[in-house]
């Protein structure tokens, strides 16, 4: 299949104990990579007590997963986290000893991917999957490295176009430890290494809960602990891979990634947004008409370089959509509580759970792509939620670059024949 294709599919898992589960989109073809997002919620659009979330990748050979959990209605906070390179979906349990709903790569199948699940239990949770393929996806690599120096370089053998890093901020793999944590981001190779990141943390074994989130528009990965930002990573690309430049060392933390290389001319942009109080979220200035978008947000102040929120409630939400399908998941937790308050929610539309206010804090009623971005019609928005996103468009061979948004300001020509466009924003020329 030509182009660069990102498609969204959401599947409800069967009851246990084991099962092979297929994630397919008719006519998609064979994937080259897949991303997975999980929240411990088994009734679409209705929240479930406890904040449990998982994110993972596979390239068909390698896989990686990070998961985090906070238990609801506890006099002493009960939280945990886990990471793995033997699965791409998992549900870590609060007591720090159990991981269930473990989904590992089985095979690429017709129009999708098959995961083999173990320890499914009796709850039919749902998983959001983003399938990635296309002739213009030149390389896809899932990997991990021990991030324990000021500067860490990873060799891939090619120069990525996009990098998705993630971590739980832990020095060991394949085991569960206390304290909820999730860190993830995105970096686009646009000449300026445009990058965004989000992090969450919920402390363990406290009689008064301590939780928080952070968001950065200058770092590709960041970490928070005890109400403070403890590390930020400036991520850059090279002809053979990428480099993390950290603010502290030694970190002694495992970091996981999905790296993708696209053909020249692939339209890619990172954008920022703020949900309106009601009506339509209109994202413009992307620079092209997307075919896919991914959004990730928290509560935060307007467009900070680096913002930490340790206020009353935090919320951590991910949304993915193409022209036909949308899926979302989010968790929420509340700080300074003598009894923990946290929930999980997943849906086939934007639907934000709100501790103290119930479900449907933000609900979408429709969406559409525009020539310069997209619109999402919403209702019932409360509080202030801001985030970052990634838009993917077509491959235009006449524009020999990957670029990050903007408005065309000048046409270049040779002998009067246009050969490309210059966009406001950062531009990376390939070839």
What average pLDDT does the segment 239-252 reach? 88
Per the listing, tokens 């700080």 go with 335
User: Does residue 129 register a pLDDT over 90?
Assistant: yes
When mean pLDDT is compared across 3-17, 100-114, 417-431, the lowest value belongs to 417-431
Domain range for 185: 5-429
When mean pLDDT is compared across 59-63, 72-76, 217-221, 312-316, the lowest value belongs to 312-316
User: Does residue 385 register a pLDDT over 70?
Assistant: yes
Q: What's the distance, CA 356 to chain centroid?
A: 26
| Identity of the highest mean pLDDT range in 1-15, 65-79, 218-232, 341-355 | 1-15
Q: Which has more confidence, 225 or 205?
A: 225
Q: What SS3 class is residue 258?
A: strand
For the chain, percent of residues with pLDDT exceeding 70: 82
> How many domains does the chain fold into?
1
Sequence-distant (≥ 6) Cβ neighbours of residue 391 within 8 angstroms = 267, 268, 269, 270, 271, 286, 288, 290, 292, 293, 373, 374
Q: Which has more confidence, 223 or 116?
A: 116
Q: Which has more confidence, 50 or 330?
A: 330
Sequence-distant (≥ 6) Cβ neighbours of residue 7 within 8 angstroms = 25, 28, 130, 131, 292, 322, 325
Q: Which has more confidence, 20 or 413?
A: 20
Provide the pLDDT for residue 113: 98
When mean pLDDT is compared across 67-76, 131-140, 229-238, the lowest value belongs to 67-76
User: Does residue 404 register a pLDDT over 90?
Assistant: no
pLDDT single digits (tens) 178-220: 777 788 999 999 999 999 998 887 777 677 776 777 888 999 9
User: Does residue 244 register a pLDDT over 50?
Assistant: yes
What average pLDDT does the segment 104-115 reach? 98
Q: Which has more confidence, 418 or 96?
A: 96
Strand (E) or helix (H) holding 197: strand 194-202
pLDDT single digits (tens) 284-312: 999 999 999 999 987 665 556 676 766 55
User: Does residue 386 register a pLDDT over 80?
Assistant: yes
Provide the pLDDT for residue 330: 86
Q: What does each C-alpha distance from 116 to 18, 20, 90, 106, 146 come to in angstroms?
A: 8, 4, 11, 6, 27
Provide the pLDDT for residue 258: 98
């Amino acid at each position: 299949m030509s182009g660069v294709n990102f498609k969204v599919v959401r599947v409800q898992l069967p009851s246990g104990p084991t099962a092979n589960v297929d994630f397919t989109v008719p006519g998609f073809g064979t994937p080259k990579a897949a991303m997975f997002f999980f929240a411990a919620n088994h009734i679409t659009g209705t929240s479930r007590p406890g904040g449990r979330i998982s994110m993972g990748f596979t390239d068909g050979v390698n896989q990686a997963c990070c998961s985090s959990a906070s238990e609801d209605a506890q006099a002493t906070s009960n939280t945990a986290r886990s990471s793995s390179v033997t699965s791409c979906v998992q549900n870590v349990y609060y007591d720090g000893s159990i991981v269930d709903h473990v989904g590992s790569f089985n095979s690429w199948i017709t129009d999708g991917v098959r995961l083999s699940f173990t320890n499914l239990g009796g709850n039919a949770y749902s998983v959001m999957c983003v399938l990635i393929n296309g002739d213009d996806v030149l390389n896809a690599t899932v990997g991990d490295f021990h991030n324990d120096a000021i500067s860490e370089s990873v060799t891939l053998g090619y120069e990525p176009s996009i990098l998705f890093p993630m971590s739980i901020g832990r020095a060991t793999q394949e085991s569960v430890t206390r304290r909820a944590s999730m860190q993830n981001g995105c970096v686009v190779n646009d000449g300026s290494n445009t990058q965004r990141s989000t992090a969450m943390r919920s402390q363990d074994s406290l009689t008064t809960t301590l939780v928080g989130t952070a968001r950065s528009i200058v770092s590709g990965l960041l970490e928070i602990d005890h109400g403070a930002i403890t590390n930020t990573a400036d991520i850059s690309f090279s002809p053979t891979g990428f480099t993390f430049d950290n603010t502290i060392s030694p970190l002694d933390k495992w970091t996981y990634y999905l790296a993708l290389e696209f053909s020249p001319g692939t339209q890619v942009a990172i954008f920022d947004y703020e949900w309106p109080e009601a009506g339509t979220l209109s994202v413009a200035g992307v620079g092209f008409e997307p075919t896919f978008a991914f959004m990730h947000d928290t509560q935060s102040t307007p467009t900070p370089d680096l913002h930490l929120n340790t206020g009353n409630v935090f919320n951590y939400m991910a949304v993915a959509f193409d022209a036909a399908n949308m899926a979302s998941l989010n968790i929420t937790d509340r700080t300074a509580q003598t009894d923990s308050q946290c929930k999980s929610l997943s849906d086939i539309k934007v639907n934000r759970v709100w501790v103290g206010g119930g479900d449907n804090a933000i609900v979408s009623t429709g969406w559409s792509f525009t020539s310069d971005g997209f619109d999402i019609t919403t209702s019932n928005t409360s509080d202030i939620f801001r985030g970052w996103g990634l838009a993917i468009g077509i491959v235009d061979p006449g524009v020999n670059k990957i670029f990050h948004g903007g408005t065309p300001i000048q046409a270049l020509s040779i002998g009067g024949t246009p050969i490309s466009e210059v966009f406001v924003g950062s531009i990376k020329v390939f070839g």
